[in-house]
Structure 1
Amino acid sequence: MGSSSSNGTGLPPFTLTGLPGLEDSQHWMFLLLGVLYTVSIVGNSLILFIVKEEQSLHQPMYYFLSLLSVNDIGVSLSTLPSVLATFCFHTQEIAFDVCMTQMYFIHFFSFTESGILLAMSFDRYVAICNPLRYSTILSDAKVAQMSLFTGIRSFCVNFPLPFLLKRLPFCKANILSHAYCLYPDLIHLPCGDVTVNSIFGLCVIISTFGLDSILILLSYVLILHSVLAIASQEERLKTLNTCVSHICAVLIFYVPMLGVSMVHRYGRYAPSYVYIFMSLIYLFVPPMLNPIIYSIKTKEIRRRLINIFAKKIPNGVTKSLT
């Protein structure tokens, strides 16, 4: 690829990477990813349908769960076009502006998910530590305000990213490490000084993921302190059980995200499959597992799912599941 200034009209395209050395069998990889996409989109759509139809689920906890499902569908749809093109049609070139747009939406949904998980931890804190004022503190208006703030924050912190990259000259072979565009990957490609980009990216991570994770941890410290004050061990376990789904959602989001960040910042000489494996876990596993976890751990959702598929499940199996 030839040299191209970021200020000119001929912005350079990028080359997406599938599975190095396995180019002839990448369509099999798409079949696997296709299963993950299907589970994610169908599972989260079912969660949205159940919460909408089940009157007993019209509570703050499930409103936040609905937001999480919408966000997970957004994550899946933002990566689907380039993954489909790379693994199924072997079309690896992606235009500069298309790449910037995809990068923006992937990170927008990532930051939004972090904010939603924080809101859900606050919901658990209020429900356990201050149950008498739960409906007052987390009114429908307050839930709407928290949701709006989460979206606005994600928009604001992501908005400068494409412009910070667009001002730089790209004169190398612009080969990405994944089948989609991620900011930590793109920041290594420009020929110019990327100090501002690195500092801004670090500040964004600290002020969003860093702050959210600290507040989530703090909320669970307070929850644990409140639970330990309960005399009955059975009541303690019952109370903590209401947090299991959220704790799982937090872990499957933050652990892969931290892994991807560490690999991109400090694993410069790591094998290419490490980059691919970590990014696949980061973007594909949480949207797939979240609806599964909440379907298993939430009795109302599980019961409604069983009712939906009751005609296909034998009566004995249906009774044992409920």
Structure 2
Amino acid sequence: MKAITYRDNGGPDVLRLVDRDLPEPGPGEVRVRVAVSGVNPTDWKARSGAGQPKQFPEVTPHHDGAGTIDAVGAGIDQSRVGERVWLYLAAAGRPTGTAAEFTVVPAERVAPLPDEASFDIGASLGVPAITAHRALTVAEDGPRRLRPGTLEGKVVLAAGGAGAVGHAVIQLARWAGATVISTVSGPEKGRLATAAGAHHVINYREGDPAAEIRKIAPDGVDIIAEVALGANLALDMAVLRTRGTISIYANDGGKPVELDVLQNMVLNTRLQFLVLYTVGPELIAAAVEDVVAAIRDGALPVGEEHGLPLVRFPLDRTADAHRAVESGAVGKVLVDVTA
């Protein structure tokens, strides 16, 4: 089979297209014939060695993807062969991700992909959708799970709504009944956030964005899904309601964060930092279950007309896919693995 691997941390040029033997699933594992692989910032950061060096002599990258189960290991029902699935955290603690024609993963890291959902949708879920779910379910007064109506009466602010996680925040929050506001840096990204389902879109580079948000939510925003805490904290604090929550999944731009302790005490702010690797299997499983329900309801479409342009590369150009993500490509970067 064809696979992308790297043996050393570094830039995209360390990625190589290689031939490898077909892997066999062990007990509790499934083998998936990958159709589409999704690329996330965490994938290029792992490849570059940011945070920690690689853990294995050779690594096949990418956590997310979609395809079809074609073999199962001991303890897994044979009836799952032929099942369409989406994969998540495939490479977490393992050397083999989805940038390969076949990959083997624990059975709990694949979820059913309804027949009406494309492999493109499946490959675009994973890290973004589970992160978005977590961001929307950490507030003190809930909800802990998402279904239509669970965020009724809540106001959600998706910072950077044109990004993959921001897009999923908009879609899941809208599906769950929230009023959704998104902040963006310009008209084109505003168009994408609107297409994703945001009720209101605010250009944070123009006018007084805090005043605009307060017009929509006079009592303040309940949940803010934040992608750039250092850059956006002042705006967040200006619009957050008392006992509101800021869910922080990134700090794009790397601006240092300085907290006004008294201001946060008075507001009873909840600052919830999150990363999927340490969130725990129970919360991951709950998020996956809710995301599957949203897929079945048609709530998570992708493509430019739905606010998430797809930027595609063939498997042998995976290095270019990484470059695209690193350079901030708008939309979701996908690698077409097999037909």
Q: Where on the TM-score scale, by shorter chain, does this alignment land: which range? A: under 0.3
Q: Highest relative contact order (Cα 8 Å, sep 6+), 1 or 2?
A: 1
> Which protein has the larger Cα radius of gyration, Structure 1 or Structure 2?
1
Q: Which has the higher helix share?
A: 1
Normalised by the length of structure 2, the TM-score is: 0.24
Normalised by the length of structure 1, the TM-score is: 0.25
